[in-house]
């Protein structure tokens, strides 16, 4: 299935991309599974999204836990803890 990935702030800079369309295996259907899937892309991804990093996620512009499901057509955003206000 296809989902849209977005990256913000420090994560965007570290990964060198603001986002992409990605084709996922059917089994990659939670936020946690997607994050693990992305770690397979190599060192840059591991250092940005590895377990040691505090990463927040939104699915379709809603902040969610890592157990949240994802489905075809979703917009999934990864970002550092927010620092507005």
Partner 1 sequence: MKVSVQTADFDLSSEVKALAEKNTNIGAVASFVGVVREVAMTLEHYPAMTEAAIRKIVEEAKSRWEVMDCTVIHRYGELQPSDQIVLVAVASAHRGDAFAACEFIMDYLKTRAPFWKKEHRAEGARWVEARASDDDAAERWAGKVG
Give the interface with partner 1 as residue ranges (CB under 8 A): 6, 8-10, 54, 58, 61-63, 75, 77, 79-85
Q: In this complex, which beta carbon is closest to partner 1, that of residue 22 or of residue 64?
A: 64
d(CA 8, CA 21): 15
Cβ atoms of 28 and 37 within 8 Å: the answer is yes
Q: In this complex, which beta carbon is closest to partner 1, that of residue 37 or of residue 53?
A: 53
CB 18, min distance to partner 1, A? 10
Q: Please name which of 61, 64, 38, 62 lies closest in space to residue 51, comparing C-alpha atoms.
A: 38
CB 59, min distance to partner 1, A? 10
CB 10, min distance to partner 1, A? 4
């Amino acid at each position: 299935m296809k989902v849209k990935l977005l990256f913000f702030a420090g994560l965007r800079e570290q990964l060198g991309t603001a986002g992409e369309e990605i084709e996922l295996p059917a089994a990659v259907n939670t936020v946690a599974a997607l994050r693990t899937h992305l770690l397979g892309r190599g060192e840059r991804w591991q250092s940005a999204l590895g377990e040691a990093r505090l990463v927040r996620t939104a699915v379709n512009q809603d902040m969610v836990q890592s157990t949240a499901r994802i489905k075809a057509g979703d917009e999934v955003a990864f970002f550092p803890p927010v620092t507005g206000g």
